[in-house]
């Protein structure tokens, strides 16, 4: 039997209703606690009763499928609806396992040809409803007749001797419809002292059944035991059942596994029911605008360490969390009142709630104590001399540096530290909803997401999508190739195109956005704004070669920001910035999908090849008198183009082609590959080739020694420089020898955190975590413009080591060392692994005694930042680049004797034996040795058989020869 079917679209829902006789639907929500409690019960029933085309169980998420929920009138969760031939015949609202089981049992009988009006004669039940069904016939007995007579006599006597007979009969104890006053839980007033009258009443409430009689019938005991099993499953609260009840429980279900914990009854999930708790003072709210035009309130929490530092800087002593934070964890009986079915359950659940609140309160106290200790440590690290007037900045500097940073952050950090940051603010990138997430989700709604997930795993290397732009942790060593499904692939099926949208675009967008932010910081806004302000120019042109459209979406975010700034200044007019966008897509199916949200975009099936094309003038009939204009782009995003090419000359051809497409006047080329040794080597090969063959050496830096150049690829050098991540134009310290290196451990790469869309988390198989990371290696080069600061590398390293803390002028950020690993934070000092402008990997130490400001900023620095505040000591760091170029073992043979071949004659046949042959690198295993031994035995047997056959042939020939000679002698006689 199969389990419930998760509905993903309106079409799937209509198909299920039309193709199945009976459908039982569970309308639920992810945030609904009762939905989670009854979900296992519903799944068990689904596995037990599901039958193809007869009975089907469906789960409908009301948040994702609002149209289906609205059509069926769902207003509360959970709601269970029974459909017979597409028509609603029963509705159960609330988490009522008994009513649900009864309704499903009746619904199953309909699949055998029953009529709905005969099976379902009563309306659906709701949460808290009793087990009686109105309208059913009663079972008459003598006891029932006596009770009716006594009730009639009692009502008659009560109304006979009273002034208001109607009111007296209504309030009489013999009235079966009299409303009982609500029972007040025994624990509502707190635990009673031992031996008091109220403690005895509490004990009696636990031991007595609801009717108040001390003697329990077999039916009452069985009811209590079954309700205990339903509520607490395989556990039991301490002292919940008496001896008779426990004996029956043990006989029916066996002994309980353990004592009931708050988690077993859903208390941690619903502990906040019954009212809103007071916010602690480290929580803040923002209003975020929705796509429909409204606003929603977003709550965020300020980290304790930042709050502590801010308070320390202001000089006021405020507690990190007020006492209201502890008062917010007070007892909230809303959930207990909602689910308790009798005083005994209420008392047991209330005790579990108190235990949970006590544990939560202690945990919060421990967290606050730990946060206070950390804040005190941060305050001590941040204390500065009062004579230091560094933070008295001009309003213009504060406005320029704090455009993307908060005012408090600008005051706490050195401005050069903020300028050198690799990540933006906030660090986590959110994918644009209207520009990327919503269009992809709408396209994926046409297909069940499980099918898309299977296709994505088939295309991107299995679970976790290791050959997508984002490589999961632990899958880097085994998957060092390129992406599994590149956008320039000529043929894609429908499901492969959907898998590309779901598994490729989100991490590709995050990596490209991170690199574009860094390029914008290093080149400044003028690089974009100057081209936008030119009226005769058509704006900037961008080519997305390899990102499948994600690069264009990322570029639009940055371009629109600069355009809005120019509009505020009145320097440009219009709602949209001008420009041309081009993307490489080889498949028609993928192109049709991208067209739905990439507007005003040119789609090319492959890269234009101007390197091997003529001018198209004169010699061709349809060429015309003028040569065809060649395309030129201000920005080219080459994502995952080089790693998939195995041969160096193929990579060289792609690089030449991209270089001819790049604008000669300040065009920017960005190369991105996967973050593993092979991906870094592909990027480093592009960088090395550009410096050796394409770009002129920088002033004050020696030219990189050039090897023998291929005349077919030789070009005239021109001005240009590396924007990021390198701050040197010499040989990469992690790529001193070109080619693949076996056993490489250190390589240059960076990471970017982003918010995963729901469909992407389902592709990875983890729907609970929406926080993802993408790692990548990259290099960005500008053509036609040299570096602004032409300091030699050794001089720039010396100045950076001394630090620019007291410098009044901002240094050129492209002459500062960059952190290539996360900083190592130790007590009293911070260690930074940096790549210096001199082209070396060094380890700089910033102790607290060097500078309190530098020590504070070093502790808050991140991987990829540029460092401008200097250090106290530095040492060279050895780089683990492996055993050199992996050329199949030829390097290891350089110091050995030359090979010699000895030719011998064996049985009339020539054989060649090699002397001084290279030995095997690895020793053979036991299985290999056994295989070799078997081969030797078989070869020896073959040789022996051949020798025996040869001897037998010789003997036969000799016998024939003797017979022939004997015949000849006889003839002569």
**Would you name the residues annotated as active-site residues?**
32, 35
In terms of phi and psi (left: phi > 0; alpha: psi -120 to 50; beta: otherwise), the region of 258 is: beta
Apex 169 CA angle, 167 and 175, nearest 5 = 130
| Tokens 């055998």 belong to residue | 112
Helix, strand, or coil here: 753? strand
In a 13 Å sphere around the CA of 440, the CA atoms on its Cβ side amount to 27
The neighbour count for residue 387, using CB atoms within 10 Å, is: 5
Q: How large is the C-alpha radius of gyration of the chain?
A: 40
φ and ψ at residue 511, rounded to 5 degrees: -70, -45
| Tokens 């200097």 belong to residue | 870
Q: Which segments of 468-578 are extended strands (E)? A: 540-545
Report strand pairing: 818-819 vs 720-724. unpaired
Spacing of C-alpha 527 from chain mean position: 34
Report strand pairing: 55-61 vs 5-6. parallel
SS3 content of the chain, % helix, strand, coil (to 5): 40, 15, 45
Cα–Cα distances in angstroms (integers) from residue 662 to residues 311, 657, 714, in the given order: 51, 9, 17
Assign 3-class secondary structure to 913-954: EEECCCCCCCCCCHHHHHHHHHHHHHHHHHHHHHHHHHHHHH
**Helical packing angle, 449-459 and 494-503, nearest 10°:** 80
Instruction: Give the tokens for residue 867.
Output: 């460092």
CA–CA separation, 206 vs 212, rounded Å?
11
CA–CA separation, 376 vs 359, rounded Å?
26
User: Closest Cα to residue 699, out of 786, 783, 817, 785?
Assistant: 786
CA–CA separation, 35 vs 95, rounded Å?
7
Spacing of C-alpha 762 from chain mean position: 9
The neighbour count for residue 440, using CB atoms within 10 Å, is: 21
CA–CA separation, 442 vs 927, rounded Å?
55
Quick check: 20 and 58 in contact, CB under 8 A? no
- Cβ within 8 Å of residue 385, ≥6 positions away: none
Helix, strand, or coil here: 175? coil
Cα–Cα distances in angstroms (integers) from residue 77 to residues 73, 174, 265, 652, in the given order: 11, 38, 18, 61
φ and ψ at residue 235, rounded to 5 degrees: -120, 170
| Tokens 């040492």 belong to residue | 875
Cα–Cα distances in angstroms (integers) from residue 556 to residues 216, 515, 537, 553, in the given order: 75, 14, 18, 5
CA–CA separation, 1 vs 544, rounded Å?
49
């Amino acid at each position: 039997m199969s389990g419930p079917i998760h509905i993903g679209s309106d079409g799937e829902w209509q198909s299920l209703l039309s193709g199945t006789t009976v459908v039982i639907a569970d309308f639920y929500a992810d945030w609904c606690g009762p939905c989670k409690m009854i979900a296992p019960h519903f799944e068990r029933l689904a596995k037990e009763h599901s039958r193809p085309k007869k009975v089907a169980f469906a789960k409908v998420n009301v948040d994702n499928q609002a149209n289906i929920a609205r059509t069926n009138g769902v207003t509360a969760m959970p709601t269970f609806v029974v459909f017979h031939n597409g028509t609603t015949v029963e509705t159960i609202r609330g988490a009522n396992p008994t009513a649900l089981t009864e309704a499903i049992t009746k619904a199953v009988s309909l699949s055998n040809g029953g009529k709905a009006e005969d099976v379902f004669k009563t309306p659906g039940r709701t949460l808290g409803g009793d087990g009686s069904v109105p309208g059913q016939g009663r079972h008459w007995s003598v006891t029932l007749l006596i009770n009716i007579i006594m009730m009639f006599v009692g009502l008659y006597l009560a109304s006979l001797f009273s002034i208001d007979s109607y009111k007296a009969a209504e309030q009489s104890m013999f009235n079966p419809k009299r409303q009982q006053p609500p029972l007040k839980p025994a624990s509502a007033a707190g635990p009673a002292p031992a031996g008091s009258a109220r403690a005895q009443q509490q004990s009696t409430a636990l031991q007595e059944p609801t009717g108040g009689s001390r003697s329990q019938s077999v039916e009452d005991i069985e009811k209590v035991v079954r309700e205990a099993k339903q509520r607490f499953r395989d556990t039991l609260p301490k002292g919940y059942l008496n001896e008779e009840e426990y004996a029956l429980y043990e006989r029916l279900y066996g002994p309980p596994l353990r004592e009931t914990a708050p988690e077993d009854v859903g208390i941690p999930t619903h502990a906040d029911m019954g009212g809103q708790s007071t916010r602690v003072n480290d929580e803040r709210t923002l209003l975020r605008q929705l796509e429909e035009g409204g606003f929603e309130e977003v709550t965020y929490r300020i980290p304790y360490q930042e709050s502590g530092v801010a308070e320390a800087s202001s000089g006021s002593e405020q507690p990190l969390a007020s006492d209201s934070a502890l008062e917010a964890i007070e007892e909230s009986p809303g959930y207990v009142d909602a689910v308790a079915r009798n005083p005994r359950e209420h008392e047991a659940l209330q005790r579990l709630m108190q235990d949970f609140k006590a544990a939560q309160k202690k945990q919060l106290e421990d967290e606050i104590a730990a946060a206070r200790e950390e804040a005190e440590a941060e305050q001590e690290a941040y204390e500065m001399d009062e004579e230091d007037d560094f933070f008295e900045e001009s309003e213009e500097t504060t406005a320029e540096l704090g455009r993307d940073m908060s005012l408090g952050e600008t005051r706490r950090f050195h401005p050069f530290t903020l300028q050198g940051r690799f990540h933006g603010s906030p660090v986590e990138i959110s994918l644009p909803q209207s520009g990327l997430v919503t269009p992809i989700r709408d396209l994926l709604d046409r297909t069940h997401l499980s099918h898309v997930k299977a296709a994505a795993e088939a295309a991107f290397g299995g679970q976790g999508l290791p050959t997508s732009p984002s490589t999961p942790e632990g899958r880097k060593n085994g998957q060092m190739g390129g992406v599994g499904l590149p956008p320039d692939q000529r043929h894609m099926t429908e499901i492969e195109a959907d898998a590309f949208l779901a598994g490729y675009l989100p991490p590709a967008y995050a990596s490209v956005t991170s690199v574009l932010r860094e390029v914008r910081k290093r080149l400044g806004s003028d690089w974009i704004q100057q081209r936008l302000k030119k009226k005769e120019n058509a704006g900037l042109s961008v080519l997305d070669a390899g990102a499948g459209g994600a690069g264009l979406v990322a570029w639009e975010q940055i371009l629109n920001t600069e355009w809005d700034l120019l509009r505020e200044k009145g320097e440009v007019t219009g709602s949209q910035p001008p420009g041309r966008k081009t993307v490489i897509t080889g498949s028609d199916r993928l192109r049709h999908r991208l067209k739905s949200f990439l507007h005003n975009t040119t789609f090319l099936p492959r890269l234009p090849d101007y390197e091997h094309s003529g001018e198209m003038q004169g010699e061709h009939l349809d060429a015309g008198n003028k040569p065809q204009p060649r395309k030129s782009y201000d920005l080219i995003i080459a994502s995952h183009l080089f790693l998939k090419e195995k041969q160096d000359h193929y990579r060289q051809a792609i690089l030449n082609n991209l270089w001819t497409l790049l604008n000669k006047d300040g065009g920017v080329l960005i190369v991105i590959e996967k973050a593993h040794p092979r991906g870094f080597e592909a990027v480093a090969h592009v960088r090395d080739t550009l410096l050796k063959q394409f770009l002129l050496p920088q002033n004050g830096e020696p030219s990189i020694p050039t090897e023998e150049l291929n005349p077919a690829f030789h070009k005239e050098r021109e001005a240009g420089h590396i924007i990021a991540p390198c701050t040197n134009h010499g040989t990469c310290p992690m790529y001193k020898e070109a080619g693949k290196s076996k056993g490489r451990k250190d390589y240059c790469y960076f990471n970017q955190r982003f918010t995963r869309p729901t469909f992407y988390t389902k592709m990875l198989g983890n729907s609970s975590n929406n926080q993802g990371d993408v790692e990548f290696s990259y290099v960005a080069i500008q053509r036609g413009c040299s570096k602004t600061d032409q300091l030699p590398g050794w001089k720039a390293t010396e100045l950076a080591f001394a630090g620019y803390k007291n410098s009044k002028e901002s240094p050129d950020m492209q002459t500062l060392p960059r952190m290539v690993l996360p900083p190592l934070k130790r007590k009293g000092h911070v260690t930074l692994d940096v790549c210096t402008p001199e082209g070396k990997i060094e380890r700089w130490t910033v102790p607290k005694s060097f500078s309190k400001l530098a020590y504070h900023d070093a502790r808050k620095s991140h991987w990829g930042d540029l460092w401008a505040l200097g250090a106290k000591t530095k040492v060279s760091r050895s780089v683990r680049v492996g055993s050199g170029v992996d050329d199949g073992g030829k390097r290891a043979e350089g110091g050995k004797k030359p090979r010699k071949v000895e030719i011998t004659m064996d049985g009339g046949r020539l054989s060649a034996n090699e002397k001084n042959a290279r030995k095997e690198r690895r020793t053979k295993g036991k299985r290999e040795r056994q295989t070799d031994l078997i081969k030797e035995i078989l070869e020896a047997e073959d040789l022996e058989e051949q020798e025996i056959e040869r001897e037998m042939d010789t003997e036969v020939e000799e016998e024939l020869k003797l017979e022939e000679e004997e015949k000849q002698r006889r003839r002569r006689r």
